[in-house]
Chains A and B, each alone.
Chain A
Amino acid sequence: MKKELRHIDLIDKYLLGHLNPEEGKEVQRLLAEDPEFSKEFEVFKQIYKGVELQAEDKLRRKLTHLYQEYQQEQKKKAKGVYRRLIVYGGAIAASIIVGTALYIFTRQDPQSPIGDDTLPTTVDADTLKNETKDTLFLPKKNTELVEQDKTTQKDTFKLDVDNDEVQLAFSNAKTLSTEAVLKVPYPSGMLTYTFDGKKLSLFGDPRISGLQIKLGKNSNGLYFLEYRGNLYSLDVTRTKKELNQIARPYDFKTVLEEELEIEIHSLFTNAKPSQDLIVKVASGASLKNEYYFTEQNGKKVLFVDSNMDIDKMKVVAISKEEGDAYYLIHNTTLYQIEAHTAQMTPLKELDFTANTETRMLMERPSFASKVYPLSFPE
């Protein structure tokens, strides 16, 4: 036991370049004289390589993930800044206008009867309600300023008022059928499968790529699937079955002249009609292509203002821990829907290959995968 650990220590130092000259000599001697040590040396050399490769892979994946997060944060930030700009910009514009108006106003003929009355309220330039009133009392030649003032206010504080207006416009909106409003849980990574001896269908995680999969067949003609470094046995089954892991060491050999068809199902196979979302479409109302969320009778409602063909529309909510992610599919086009957007927002077209989430919504063609002979040593 002691000797074994001592040897591991020497090999470790050698491989990491930490040996002192004395230990160096000892390693040379052991390599020359002790076949057992040489054997261990070889094994650890491979193990270290393996650790490095796998740690590097892991770090790369991690960085890719962090970059995606970073991009999303930047997007959110940009929006935040934009919004703030509008609000501050609006407020500043409003106060300048009111200020100018006041200036001009106070320069007016002091005998003007309206001016005397309203002046005290005009001082309260912070509350926008008052502003509107104030500007209305301005003499005629300032109407231009008044107009401008109104528009800035409207842009900035459109939320409630506008929604009401839009809802009126939506009074003739059609409701998307419940089968077209779907809810899907984010894949947990638990796989199920069906297998008929020729075609293997995998359900539960559409993120799988063909590269992560390797098929094996043992001497008894039974099929196996290697996925994420684990081996699973495959039974012929028509009903979806969970993968059964084989925890024995195994070994693939050179490829066989045999292929199986593999089908990886998109997220839609697990979709159910959504219970908590209603989608209304004002088709033909405008060519705007905009949307927003609201609530009606305690249910979440997504209004889409667009000329899309309602029969070709589908809305998917992918439920995740951090909240649902929404997508709208019309025909073969994908649109991203930002959750909780209460303002009219233009529909953003998105490529199905844009990110892991959207790729999960893609229907993928099945592909052929080679089968390797598999043996279980020992």
Chain B
Amino acid sequence: MTDHELIVQLRNGNENCLKQLYNHMGMVKSWIGQNNGNEEDALDVFQEAIMVFYKNVLADKYEPRGKISTYLFEICKRQWLNQLNRRKKYENRDITFSISDGGQENNTIEITIKGPNLKQYLQSTLEKIGDPCKSILEATIFMGQKMEEIAERFNYSSARSASQQKLRCLQKLREEVSYDVIIRLKPE
């Protein structure tokens, strides 16, 4: 599959095509290997790069100037250098932990428990609304895909009717969510 074909397939929702991108990982692996990283680092960084690429393609922010492989490699390079910098900073940082008094300590514990809980709660409501709503919301909110493309991908006659469908989905999702629960679970 050529670069162009891949982009067309991805826009149509054929996520499995992302698999072929792993063909380009060798370069990244050896470069990270030469720069204080191991294979696991390379896989992590490469996976993040695929996500950036994929999101940019769907959000129409990807401008095919060169090859996808070069694009991925550039993202990986940047990400890995950032990560190395961050590691350095972290090592040099003075570790000053302020220990809070009893009352506040309780608070921090509660927050850590609340965090993942809200996520779980929202996840279960998302499951309830099912497809195509779930996929449409993921595509517009997470991937940033435009309504014109959503219409094409999910077979709506126009961007306008796709937008209306999206609003109905949001409404449906809203009905499943309780304001009180959200406020209670929301991290401070």
Contact = CB atoms under 8 A, between A and B. Distances in A.
Which of A8, A44, A255 gathers the greatest number of chain B CB atoms within 10 Å?
A: A8
B110 A254 contact: yes
B6 interface: no
A63 B173 CA distance: 27
A120 interface: no
Interface stretch (B64-72, B74-82, B113-121, B148-156): B113-121
B47 A16 contact: no
Contact of A62 (B15, B126, B144): B15
A60 B54 CA distance: 12
Given A46-B186, A67-B22, A60 B140 contact: no
A50 interface: yes
Nearest to B179: A43
Nearest to A58: B138
A55 B178 contact: no
Given A16-B140, A62-B15, A50 B126 contact: yes
A255 B16 CA distance: 41
B19 A252 contact: no
A4 interface: yes
Interface in B109-136: 109-110, 113, 117-127
Contacts of A109: none
A323 interface: no
A70 B22 contact: yes
Interface in B87-128: 106, 109-110, 113, 117-127
Contacts of A55: 138, 141-143
Given A43-B179, A47-B177, A229 B123 contact: yes
Interface string A309-332: 000000000000000000000000
A63 B22 CA distance: 10
B159 interface: no
B127 to A, nearest CB: 6
Given A50-B119, A229-B123, A43 B47 contact: no
Contact of A66 (B16, B170, B183): B16
A249 B181 contact: yes
B137 interface: yes
B11 to A, nearest CB: 15
Given A52-B142, A59-B51, A63-B51, A43 B120 contact: no
8 contacts: A8-B174, A44-B174, A46-B182, A48-B141, A60-B47, A67-B43, A252-B117, A254-B110
